[in-house]
Amino acid sequence: MFDIGLTHYLVVSIVVFCLGVAVMATKRNAIGILLGAELVLNAAALNFVAFGRYRVPGLDGQLAAVFVIVLAAAETALALAIFLNFYANHATIDVDQGASLKG
Amino acid sequence: MILLEALMFYVFAATMIGSSLAILLSRDIVRSAVWLLGTLGAAAGLYFLLAANFLAAVQLIVYAGGVLVLIVFGVMLTGRQAGAMPLARGSEIAIAAVVALILCAGLLVVALRGPWIELPGPAPAPVAAEMRTIGSELLTSYLVPFEVASVLLLAVMIGAAYLARPEKR
Amino acid sequence: MATALQACLLLGVFIPLASFVFLAFFGSKLGGAARRHEHAHHENSHGHAEHGHPAAAAPGEPLAGWVATAAIAASLILALIATFIWAGGDGESRRAWSEQAAHGAALWTNLGSVPIHFGVNLDSLTVITFLMVTICSTCIHVFSVGYMAGDPRFARFFCFLSLFCFSMLGLVIARSLLFLFIFWELVGVCSYFLIGFWFEKKSASNAAIKAFVVNRVGDFGFVIGLGLCLVYLGTLSLDSAPAVFEAGARAAGWSSTELSAAAAAVPAEQAAHAARLFTTLLWGVPLATWLGIGLFCGAIGKSAQFPLQVWLPDAMEGPTPVSALIHAATMVAAGVYLVARVFLLLTPGAQMFIAVVGCITLTMAALIAIVQTDIKRVLAYSTLSQLGYMVFGLGVGAWVGALYHLLTHAFFKALLFLGSGQVIAGCHHEQDLRKMGGLASKMPNTAIAFLIAVLAISGAGLPWLNVGLGGYFSKDEILAVAFYRHFNADKPAAEHAAGERAAGDVAALGSGVPVLLAANESAHAAQSHGDDPQAGHAAARPAPHAAPPVSRVPAALFWLPIVIAYVTPFYMGRCFILAFLGRPRDEHIHAHARETPIMYRPLLVLAGLTVVSSIPVFLFRPFVAHAAPGHAPLVPAISGDDHALHAAHQWLPAIVGFAWVVGLGSAWLLYRNGLALAERIRRAPVVHLLHHVLWNKFYFDHVYGFVLVGGTKVVAVICRLFDNWVIDGVINNAAYVFERLARFSGVVLDNRGVDGAVNGLGGGLWSLGGLLRRFQTGLARNYILLAALGVCALVVAVLSGGQASWALALFVAAAAALLTPWEQVRRGLMGER
């Protein structure tokens, strides 16, 4: 109970991951979906660091997390640019309005 | 000492999960964005506990300082009716909940039963990851991902500027 | 010296690449200001550009052209330097240089355990082919500056030309089959760009696609050959692969000849592995033969041999300089070059296959060429026919003859194409021979150059006097070997053996080739004579380097090339006479015809080179002869220097020596007064039928169109029927049943007043429909859910362990659910339409 190990972190990471998936699946606001993606990415990064701490000695886990953070930042910037563009065209960021490519 | 560490862990973990849950449940996007701050901060705390000091700092600076501000800006630029955004249909939410629960259960089973390699002896002492070490690692063993990431950032910068520019007609 | 040579060749390869990169980025910014509206205008009416009105200067004109020309000219100078260095070395130092180059090759990568080196394959063939390619390309570049004047994409054209030169030169120097393949594909894609250069023309873009697709068919075989090499020989290097192959053949008991030094050095394990090539049969044919045939398939595609010859005539849609570059100097030559390079990886079976394919091609193409009326298509078919000769030559073992023919052919065929380009440009893009005539007075320089090329391709020369042009020597050497393999092969050749092997002894081919070896070659000649496979005396004489038995070739493989040697001068004479002699048949065209200095000067240069390359003792043939595989364990490689050929000498000149007189003479008789006489003959009953067959190119395009395109269509129709009847039928019927069921339940049960049940059923169906519809909502969040479901399926698969099939079934069901057109199902369920 008080001996914190890999499993504890894994559980936290999994729960946050699933919450992120749920956020992505329920929000209609595009920025809400982006928040879900951030949750998922954070969960993944936490996983990396936890494994790096407890199972794979060295800096591999931390560096993987660094790259995850970098990619997440890039992804946010790009996604927000897309949303602004979307907003300029549709005057809303309700993703349900973006289904015009639906077959 | 162990007790303190465990206590910290539970506090951060609870904050992280709780904030995430709040993001999920809150209907106002501005509140969601603020709750994200809790998640990111708690994650940074967990990194501290995992002896990844540098990473924790990066997490705070890049995420809490950069990404979050960016998101809030996004909300402000687009969010005239953000608060009034209708939720997804009830049935959809139900399905999402079921799927997320199944996924969570499945992943938990995998994680708890998974045959992770057991290192002999007690958990290894945390690597004191100085910024110097990380820096030299980034420029030696991880040079290629580093360069690729920089090129990617450049591409993202150009792409974002291109996408968000005002329409010229 | 080796370093200098390598530096020359490598620089020569990469300078055109630099030019390509430069032109790709800055090409259209060179020269005068680009006039946008002119550009748009040209895009719309391409014909305007074709007529070459000098008024509108395209972006980059003419500076971009001169940049590319300067690049290839620099390569030419480097090639000349390399040639001088190489010519200055004797046999021993040349071998030393080659080995130095081989050792200096940089390791590029390891494919599994097979190292791939990047370096220059330094031998006489590389040097002389490099020289040939750069000379032809330079002339073509200069010509193009004139020919492409006024084209809106002027700069892009030279950009592609530079890339093409880079690819081709890289192909020539490649020392690994893998690099050869890479450059091979680069050449292919360049030809795609260049043939489809005027892509506004539907026919041009179609021709480009056709060339590309047909070449892919051939490359498929090439890749199979490469794979066999990689797996069984364990090497892709052009110099170690034959050694391993030879060692394998020996280990499998295929050859009893003395192993060469390189082959003897092959580890026994590797040799045993390679031996499986010979012992493993696929459809009754050993894999070794399949390897040869596979590699040759690449050549079939690139060199447009039967049955993949269909792309080449269509490729005439490209600009004429491109036709010259692709058909003369470079791309089609690549196929022959490849076969020459892998000659030692051939088995007798593969070689016979090559000979048959070459023979079919040369015959068929020459016959079709007789009836063509488009000047470029005549040349295209003559190219096919000449390539057929080269491939046939390699197939019967005339390695030296085939490659010498490759070199001479490159010059005179480039000359012919550029000449036709000058004619076409001078006649306002009229390509129809029937509308030309009498152009000699208007284009004297072009006419003279063209005449020289026609004489060269006809093999004009004076038998027994050893004076002749181009094809006279090279083609005759191929025919002499065929003659020898037909008549003398199975005779015991012991009488030729000992005495005639003396050093410095001079061979004389009956119809030509007097002193084939320059003086400084004699030392090598002695050595090469010692190596040369001679005749079937391997069993009789346990000599070192005893040659493989030379099998007899069938009569058709000898007589068809002989007959076509008469047809070649006929159709080339027809082409020349119709274009340049006689009375003008279209006064308007004749009145406006003119020639341009920038275009005819390269022609004169090429005409000079045609004459120079026809001197068998100077430069070209000695270089080829020096590169000949001295020690061919499995297949015969017979050079014109071999004394075994003496027997062939007495009769061959009598048979074909005056073919050019007969052919050109009959063309003169038939066409000197225009087309009237030929037209009368065409109307004759049997000839009419023949003409019809030839005019339709033996119906190859029809058959391919019917079988391949039609076959694809049939499959598509079957698929559509299946979709319409079976799948839609199942769905519609299911929908119908459900609908009836729902109505039945609604009507019957409702009438009985069981509202709950009705509403439950209806509601259930409704929400089912709603649920299913949601799979195709176009909403990102739903797709995320589906992805999560997929992960769930994977988790189940992991957890269920042994019962993974259940998880798999779940996953398949989920995938099927995604792929089903739920919208249709929903409509069926809702009873809509």
Facing A102 at nearest CB: one of C776, C784, C785: C776
Say if the Cβ atoms of C770 and B92 lie within 8 Å: no
Which of B23, B53, B113, B119 is the best mutation test for A, with the most CBs of A within 10 A? Answer: B23
| Any C CB within 8 A of B76 CB | no
Q: Which candidate from A21, A100, A103 shows the least CB-CB separation from C784?
A: A21
pLDDT at res. C548: 56
User: Confidence band (pLDDT; 50, 70, 90) for C516?
Assistant: very low
User: Residues in chain A with pLDDT < 70?
Assistant: 1, 99-103
Confidence of residue C805 (pLDDT cuts 50, 70, 90): low
pLDDT at C405 over 80: yes
Closest CA–CA distance from residue A100 to any residue of chain C (Å): 8
The model scores a pTM over 0.80: no
pLDDT at position B117: 66
Contact C782/A at CB under 8 A: yes
* Mean pLDDT to the nearest integer, B98-126: 74
Round to whole Å and give the CA distance between C682 and C693: 12
What is the per-residue pLDDT across C178-236, written as a single tens digit (0 to 9) for each? 888 889 888 888 888 888 888 888 888 888 888 888 888 888 889 888 888 888 888 88
Residue B17 to residue A16, Cβ atoms within 8 A = yes
Task: Determine contact: B149 vs chain A, CB below 8 A.
Answer: yes
How far apart are the C-alpha atoms of C185 and C806, rounded to whole Å?
46
Query: Subunits that touch chain C (at least 3 Cβ pairs < 8 angstroms)?
Result: A, B
Write the single-letter amino acid at B88: A
Identify the helix (H) or strand (E) that includes residue C114: strand C114-118
Within 13 Å and on the Cβ side, how many CA atoms surround C24?
A: 10
Task: Find which of A96, A100, A101 to mutate to test the C interface (most C CBs within 10 Å of its CB).
Answer: A96
- Selecting from B95, B107, B110 the residue whose C-beta is nearest the C-beta of C785 gives B95
pLDDT tens-digit series, residues C153-189 = 888 888 888 999 999 999 988 888 888 888 988 888 8
Q: How many CB pairs under 8 A join A and C?
A: 32
Q: Is C780 at the interface with chain A, CB within 8 A?
A: yes
Interface test with chain B among C775, C791, C810, by most B beta carbons within 10 Å: C791
Predicted confidence (pLDDT) per residue in C28-71, tens digit = 777 644 444 444 444 444 444 444 444 455 666 778 888 889 99
List the one residue out of C371, C461, C369 whose CA is nearest residue C413.
C369
Pick the closest to residue C773 from C820, C812, C831 (CA basis). C820
Q: Is the previous residue joined to C685 through a cis bond, with omega within 30 degrees of 0?
A: no
Supply the pLDDT for residue A39.
Answer: 93
Q: Note which residues in 10-39 of chain A have CB less than 8 A from chain B.
A: 10-12, 14-23, 25-32, 34-36, 38-39
**pLDDT by residue (tens digit) across C321-378?**
887 777 766 777 888 888 888 888 888 888 888 988 988 888 888 888 888 888 888 8
Are C795 and B109 a contacting pair at CB < 8 A?
Answer: yes
What is the nearest CA distance from B34 to chain C, expressed in angstroms?
A: 22
Q: Which contacts (CB < 8 Å, 24+ apart) does range A8-11 have? A: A8/B9, A8/B13, A9/A46, A9/A47, A9/A50, A9/A54, A9/B46, A9/B50, A10/A47, A10/A50, A10/B111, A10/B112, A11/B108, A11/B111, A11/B112
What phi and psi, each to the nearest 5 degrees, are found at residue A24? -60, -35
Residue A68 is predicted with a pLDDT of: 92
Say yes or no: B6 contacts chain A, CB-CB below 8 A: yes
Closest of C828, C797, C829 to residue C812, by C-alpha: C797
Closest residue by Cα to residue C200 from C319, C78, C287: C319
B66 in A contact zone (CB under 8 Å): yes
Residue B57 phi/psi, 5-degree rounding, is -65, -45
Q: Which residue has the higher pLDDT, A24 or C730?
A: A24
Write the burial class of residue C775 (CB in 10 Å: 0-12 exposed, 13-18 middle, 19+ buried): middle
Backbone dihedral angles phi then psi of residue C257, each to the nearest 5 degrees: -75, 165
- Using pLDDT thresholds of 50, 70 and 90, give the confidence band for residue C804: low
Which residues are CB-contacts of B144 (< 8 A; sequence separation ≥ 6)? none
Query: What is chain C's mean pLDDT, rounded?
Result: 75
Put simply, whether B75 touches A (Cβ < 8 Å) is yes
Average pLDDT over residues C541-552: 51
Chain B residues near residue C774 by CB distance under 8 angstroms: 92
Q: Which residues are CB-neighbours of C720 under 8 A, at least 6 positions away?
A: none
Q: Which residue of C has its CA nearest to B113?
A: C799
Q: How many pairs of residues across B and C have Cβ atoms under 8 Å apart?
A: 31
With 70 as the cut, is the pLDDT of residue C535 above it?
no
> What integer is the mean pLDDT of C617-645?
73
Contact (Cβ atoms closer than 8 angstroms) between residue C458 and residue C572: yes
Report whether C317 contacts C376 (CB < 8 A).
no
- Chain A CB contacts of C773 under 8 Å are none
Question: pLDDT > 90: what percent of chain C?
Answer: 1
**C-alpha to C-alpha distance for C339 and C218, rounded to whole angstroms:** 13
Higher pLDDT, B9 or B128: B9
Distance of alpha carbon C673 from alpha carbon B120, whole angstroms:
101
A-chain residues near B78 (CB < 8 A): 30-31, 83-84, 87, 93
For residue B95, list chain C residues with Cβ-Cβ distance below 8 A: 785
pLDDT at B103: 86
Chains with ≥3 CB–CB distances under 8 Å to B: A, C
pLDDT of residue C816: 53
Number of H helices, E strands in chain B: 7, 0
Q: What angle do CA C640, C642, C647 make, to 5 degrees?
A: 90
Query: Residue C545: which pLDDT band, with cuts at 50, 70 and 90?
Result: very low
Using a CB–CB cutoff of 8 Å, tell me whether A99 touches chain B: no
The predicted-structure confidence for B18-48, as pLDDT tens digits, reads as follows 999 999 888 888 888 889 999 999 999 999 8
Under a CB-based contact definition with an 8 Å cutoff, are residues C119 and C5 in contact? no
Q: Give the model's pLDDT for residue C537.
A: 36
- pLDDT for B54 beyond 70: yes
Q: What are the chain B neighbours of C788 within 8 Å (beta carbons)?
A: 99-100, 103
Per CB-CB distance under 8 Å, the chain B contacts of A69 are: 55, 58-59, 62-63
**What is residue C176's predicted lDDT score, i.e. its pLDDT?**
86
Residue from C76, C14, C78, C54 nearest C145 by CA: C54
Query: Which of the 8 DSSP states describes residue B61?
Result: I
pLDDT of residue C455 exceeding 90: no
Q: What is the mean pLDDT of residues B104-119?
A: 78
**pLDDT value at residue A15:** 94
Instruction: Determine the pLDDT at residue C46.
Output: 42
Residue with more model confidence, C319 or A58: C319
pLDDT at C407: 87
Closest-CA residue to C489 (of C356, C360, C348):
C348
Q: Which of 84-113 (B) contact C at CB < 8 A?
A: 88, 91-92, 95-96, 99-100, 102-103, 106-107, 109-110
A24 touches chain C (CB under 8 A): yes
Q: What is the pLDDT of residue C95?
A: 81
> Does residue C514 surpass a pLDDT of 60?
no
Answer yes or no: do B106 and C792 touch at CB < 8 A: yes
Out of C776, C777, C788, whose CB is closest to A21? C788
C-alpha triplet C465, C468, C471: angle, nearest 5°: 135
State percent of chain C over pLDDT 70.
77
Does the distance separating the beta carbons of B99 and C788 come in below 8 Å?
Answer: yes
What CA–CA distances, in Å, run from B5 to A4, B13, B16, B51, C757?
A: 8, 12, 16, 12, 59
User: What is the CB-side half-sphere exposure of residue B56 using CA atoms within 13 A?
Assistant: 17
Q: Which residue has the tokens 């208007």?
A: C442
Say whether pLDDT at B62 is over 60: yes
Q: What is the pLDDT of residue A12?
A: 94
pLDDT at C754 over 70: no
d(CA C636, CA C642): 12
Helix or strand holding residue C108 (H, E): strand C106-111
- List b or e across C655-683, with b for residues whose CB sees 16 or more CB atoms inside 10 angstroms: bbbbbbeebbeebeebbeebbeebeeeee
Q: Is the pLDDT of residue C541 over 50?
A: no
- Closest C-alpha to C321, from C163, C145, C476, C501: C145
Cβ-based contacts of A55 with chain B (< 8 Å): 116-117, 119
Is B28 in contact with A27 (CB distance < 8 Å)? no
- Please list every residue in chain C whose beta carbon sits closer than 8 Å to the beta carbon of residue A33: 780-781
Query: A-chain residues within 8 Å CB-CB of B156?
Result: 74-75, 77-78
Q: Check CB contact under 8 Å for A25 and C785.
A: yes
Burial track C790-822 (b if 16+ CB lie within 10 A, e otherwise) = eebbebbbeeeeeeeeebeebbeebeeeeeeeb
- Cβ-defined contact of A102 to C778 (cutoff 8 Å): yes
Nearest-angstrom CA–CA distance, C426 and C584: 14
Alpha-carbon dihedral angle through residues C221, C223, C228, C230, given to the nearest 10 degrees? 160
Number of Cβ pairs < 8 A linking chain A and chain B: 227
Any chain C CB within 8 A of the CB of B21?
no
Q: What is the mean pLDDT of chain A?
A: 85
Cβ neighbours of C767 in B, within 8 Å: 91
Q: What is the average per-residue pLDDT within C630-651?
A: 68
The answer to whether C439 and C430 have CB atoms below 8 angstroms apart is: no
Which helix (H) or strand (E) covers residue C413, if one does?
helix C399-426
pLDDT of residue C351: 86
Q: Which residue of A has its CA nearest to C792?
A: A18
- Taking an 8 Å cut-off on Cβ atoms, the answer to whether C784 and A99 are in contact is no
Higher pLDDT, C797 or C170: C170
**What pLDDT does residue C580 have?**
83
pLDDT of residue C749: 61
pLDDT band at B133 (very low <50, low <70, confident <90, very high): confident
Question: Does the interface predicted TM-score (ipTM) exceed 0.90?
Answer: no
Structure token pair of residue C719: 């698929």
